[in-house]
Amino acid sequence: MKIFTSSHLIADSWILRERAIDKDPAVFSIDRGTTIVGRHRDAQVVVQHETVSSRHARFSIVDGQLAVTDLASTNGTWVNGHRLQATQRLQPGDTIQFGKVVFDLHSDVTPETGTNLTVVDEVFSLAVAEKARRAVPQLKSSDHLQAWFQPIVRMKDEQIVAYEVLARGAMSNLNSAGQIFEAAESQGMAAEISERIRYLGANIAAGMGTDHAFFLNTHPHEFAEDRLLNSLADLRSTFPALPLVIEIHEKAVADQSQLKELVQGIRQLDCQFAYDDFGVGSSRILEILEFPPDFVKFDIEFVRRVSNCDISTDKAVSLVEVLRKLNVRLLAEGVETRLQHERCAELGIELGQGYLYGRPKSAEDTFRAPQ
């Protein structure tokens, strides 16, 4: 195992690159028959994170084929969003997660001697992006684009009251919603994919015979002309009785007259409407006063800051009180810990969504009948 910096070479090996936002990503080469991943210093790939077990997983290479096995870790090893139950073979572009630490897998890149890691990174990025770009048209098929569901619970008793419909891909290089829409945007297909995932989710939901509400996402590319409202009208005519909540990102609509038309159109379709990713510093408070939504979804940053006491209690309470006086139902996104749940409940936030209550799952796993 090697850890590469800009002065090292990468040749004929599998490359494991961490997804990191606020630090330089760790980069590992898997170039031996067996490689142990874990928090213990004796592991060949050392990942220092509280969600990673001492001996978490094992990579093995047989005849040039890389595979990964979970070693009974506490928080699991995940490949492309699926928790491992057995050894799984891997391919370039796969996403591998140990606990909560996420890596992307690359291979077969052999730059000339002296190549800087920055250049190698660009080669990786271009290769993965091109592979994803070519795969976008396949997402029109329900075999490749899937609707997954994440529960939304009532804070006071943690009972499921709704689900958010999320996009997932069945291809290794287009698995997460972020990957799907980044590639779709490059092909001018983001609006079409967004429409498709709403239909898939609603079609599954309608067949479940449940009275839960379903939160459906939108994409900014749909706001041109009347595309979004026309799409929602078609959806409502197909599923007239399904309880639907349409999520609009709080920064997606800049024009107030357009927002008014959008809100009126959504309500005329007997759908509810939610502001998504709302934070303490939101600029949309005046629009909310004029066009109150049915729901406001506080973003994960708000939840973390509240639980860490990074914002004043008075400020958070004031915001919550203003919204509740408008009869807006409040939902905290990204709730991962019991402390976050308790702090949000104390503020008077009614609903919660996050890993604490349940990860996104396929329709089969979400609506499977109890054994």
The closest of 361, 360, 359, 354 to 302, measured between CA atoms, is 354
The closest of 311, 234, 320 to 271, measured between CA atoms, is 234
For the beta carbon of residue 190, count every other beta carbon within 10 angstroms.
20
Cα 63 to chain centroid distance, Å, stands at 34
In the chain, helix, strand, coil percent, each to 5?
Answer: 35, 25, 40
pLDDT above 90 for 197 = yes
Strand, helix or coil for residue 369: coil
Higher pLDDT, 2 or 151: 151
| Predicted local confidence at residue 140, as pLDDT | 60
pLDDT one-digit tens code per residue, 335-352: 999 999 999 999 999 999
| Predicted local confidence at residue 233, as pLDDT | 97
pLDDT above 60 for 91 = yes
- Beta strands 295-298 and 145-154: pairing type? unpaired
| Predicted local confidence at residue 171, as pLDDT | 66
| Predicted local confidence at residue 135, as pLDDT | 59
- Beta strands 329-332 and 295-298: pairing type? parallel
pLDDT above 80 for 313 = no
Beta bridge partners of 168: 146
Which position has the token pair 């213990």?
40
In angstroms, rounded to a whole number, what is the distance separating the alpha carbons of residues 124 and 107? 9
Which position has the token pair 């509740």?
324
Sheet containing 88-89, strands listed edge to edge, beginning at the edge strand earlier in sequence? 45-46, 34-38, 57-62, 65-70, 88-89
pLDDT one-digit tens code per residue, 179-192: 788 778 877 888 99
Which position has the token pair 């609509």?
253
Higher pLDDT, 273 or 179: 273
CA-to-CA separations, 301 to 44, 87, 289, 310, 319, in angstroms, rounded:
34, 36, 23, 10, 15
Any idea which of 5-9, 103-107, 234-238, 289-293 has the lowest mean pLDDT?
5-9
Report percent pLDDT > 90 for the chain: 42
| Predicted local confidence at residue 333, as pLDDT | 94
Across the range 167-173, mean pLDDT stands at: 74
CA-to-CA separations, 28 to 81, 106, 117, in angstroms, rounded:
21, 10, 12
Residues 6+ apart with CB under 8 A from 264: none
Report percent pLDDT > 70 for the chain: 79
Helix (H) or strand (E) holding 128: helix 117-135
Any idea which of 49-53, 74-78, 365-369 has the lowest mean pLDDT?
365-369
Asked if 302 and 332 touch (Cβ cutoff 8 Å), the reply is yes
Across the range 12-30, mean pLDDT stands at: 75
Beta bridge partners of 273: 246
pLDDT above 50 for 85 = yes
| Predicted local confidence at residue 3, as pLDDT | 35
In angstroms, rounded to a whole number, what is the distance separating the alpha carbons of residues 343 and 59? 40
pLDDT above 60 for 133 = no
pLDDT above 50 for 173 = yes
pTM of the model: 0.66
The closest of 10, 50, 45 to 26, measured between CA atoms, is 45
